[in-house]
Structure 1
Amino acid sequence: MDCREAELKLSWFLDGEAPEVSAHLAGCAACREKLEGLKQADVLLAAAAQQMLPEPSGRRAPRARWGAWAILGSAAMVLAGFAGWFVWNASFEPAVPIVTVIGPDAWEADAETLLRVALRSSQDGTPLREADVRITVEGGSTVLGKTDADGVAELRIPPPAGETATVLIAVVTPIGSVETRRRVSLSRPVRVLLSTDKPLYQPGQTVHLRALAMNDLKREPFQGEVSLEIHDVNGTRVLRRTLRTSAFGIAAEDFALAEDVLLGRWRATVTAGGAASERTFDVKRYVLPKFRVAVETDRTFYAPGEQALIAVDASYFFGKPCAGAKVTAELGEWVADEFRTVATAAATADAAGHARTDLRIPAKVHGTELAGGDALLR
């Protein structure tokens, strides 16, 4: 704490507040002298107030005499003189630079970080122009700059190595030099996508899982470890693996289901660099159909709100058409790592096993990175 800040808190200190001032007073004779002046002014005010109190008797209190007013006026003059001296003395305090560093405490490990250093005079708050600014990162590089007309310097700092770093900010101005330090942490944001080879499995089959991890800033394959977990229908963790991605940011794992496995919806989760992706799959017994279904649309691309025409051709494997078959068409949109049904339609196949229906594309769809910003429909 400097003298200027201590002087502003002397009156609080007299009232039993601002205990941090006591440490400064122990080593500053000038501030102790100013504190004594404030104490004397308080004594004069207390004496004047005592003279103005009524007498503790049942008689009518006499009219206050001019002597009490004289004491009160003297105390006011002392206070006014002390305040004037305080302001006059503060104007002659040496000005020092005030440094304000604007920037995040968490840096991206694979990108430059922008820091703004603002310099002001402690006396009148004016910007300090053309001041030299030097930022040095522990274990990294040093960047130099100068403040502009607003007293602000903008510097881009290359990322240092490691998980944390100490940053030294040093400024040189016409009214003095100042150094300050700050501790920053570094992170590498990652995006990860988990997928399975199919959504439905029977007991005894093998689930093929694949994770794709990319650096969120550079759009480069993530090189590192990923954690894979699989939970059954009861939420019990049945698998936990630590995998390492390939040069393409891909990690794969095969999970064999037992013959007496619990039936229902299972959940797989992969975590990479603090980011997570989840995929669910169903385990149940089923019988493969004895017929095949071919589906065609009139176009491969639609705008929101348009009508999609659907053609269905159903026939048995031995060649006979599925005449009179009930056909249900569902339109799914890729949202939050899964397809969600947004429209349905029903039709009946004719004698040749053909059916025609249409589905309305929603007026509002969600773009995906998988489709380059377009909505992904199925």
Structure 2
Amino acid sequence: MEEVATIQLSGHGGRSKIVEKKQVLIQRASNSTFVQADKPIYMPGQLVRFRIVTLNSSFMPLNEEYPLVELKDPDSNRIGQWLNVKPERGIVQLSFQLAAEPSLGTYTIIVDGRQTYRTFRVEEYVLPKFKLVVTEPTQIFTSDAAFPLKVCGKYTYGKPVLGTVQVSLCRTAYTWYVDGMGSKPTDICQNVTGKVRREVGKGLTEV
């Protein structure tokens, strides 16, 4: 509801008189409805929990009844509805059980008559699988100050694996006794960390 009002300001001082008029638009404060889900993304078979609250202009929750609350799938099919829902202490708490094999995509919760909605996504998470290929020189000389080592990671569907690689380089050294009766092997290891970079469509790191 809107209406136009006129405000008049008058002032007197000595022989002077000031009169000024202004028109203002008066609007009735409207209520605001909010919908909140407990997560933005769900997996198949999970329970969707959401709440609805309506606040007045003083930010106080109202106990007004909601005629219709509905849930629509990515194809705009109504898969859930709640009729004449009444809040408890100003808040409505509802839930919906997703099927084991639901439609993947964006779902919408709609509160009837208030033009209020909330969306969430349903996605299927699959643990990524990849393989590592390590390429090293066939022989190393004692005079070599460094040698190349390549680690290539690739997912089973062909895309490179990007991230950080930790490599442990070890060699076995032998300490000979003076009498030559035997030896005691000692592993000497060095840990190297490198970031994977893209090279010719592969996830590759050089250490």
State the TM-score bracket (shorter-chain normalisation). Answer: 0.3 to 0.5
Q: Higher helix share goes to which structure?
A: 1
Q: Higher strand share goes to which structure?
A: 2
TM-score by structure 1 length? 0.28
**Which of the two has higher C-alpha Rg?**
1
Asked which structure has the greater RCO (Cα within 8 Å, sep 6+), the reply is 2
